[in-house]
Structure formats: C-alpha cells, structure tokens
C-alpha cells in the first residue's frame, strides 16, 4: 500500500467534488462533468491500491 498514492487519490476526489460544486453554483455543465470525472479517477486510483494491497497480502 502506498500512502502517497492513496493521498493523491483522495486529493483528486476532493478536487473533483469542489469543481462539481462550483459547476452546480455557476450552472456550468463542463465544470460539473470535469468534477465528476476527477472523482471517478480518484475512485479508480483507490481501487488500484486495494488490488495492490490484496495481492501483497496474498503473497505474504
């Protein structure tokens, strides 16, 4: 498990939530879509870290 990678994934998720919120406030659909995409990227990164953890656990 890489703590740094998990932190980056969390930061990307937070960044996406903030951008989506700005899009909701301003009514900008592009900001909303980009925010949701960043959140999805953060979730994928977390998933990759989970897989790495499981592989490492099974190898130990």
How does pLDDT run across 12-54, given as a tens digit for each residue?
999 999 999 999 999 999 999 999 999 999 999 999 999 999 9
Q: Is it the case that residue 55 has pLDDT exceeding 70? A: yes
Residue 38 burial class via C-beta count within 10 angstroms: exposed 0-12, middle 13-18, buried 19 and up: buried
Q: Count of CB atoms within 10 A of residue 57's CB?
A: 9
Which backbone phi and psi does 17 adopt, to 5 degrees?
-65, -40
Quick check: 6 pLDDT over 60? yes
User: How far is the C-alpha of 35 from the C-alpha of 33, rounded, in Å?
Assistant: 5
The whole-model pTM stands at 0.83
If pLDDT is split at 50, 70 and 90, which confidence band does 2 have? confident
For the chain, state the CA radius of gyration. Answer: 14
């Amino acid at each position: 498990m890489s703590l740094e990678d998990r932190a980056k994934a969390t930061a990307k998720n937070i960044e996406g939530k903030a951008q989506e919120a700005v899009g909701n406030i301003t009514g900008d659909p592009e900001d909303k879509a980009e925010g949701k995409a960043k959140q999805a990227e953060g979730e994928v990164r977390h998933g990759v870290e989970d897989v790495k953890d499981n592989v490492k656990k099974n190898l130990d």
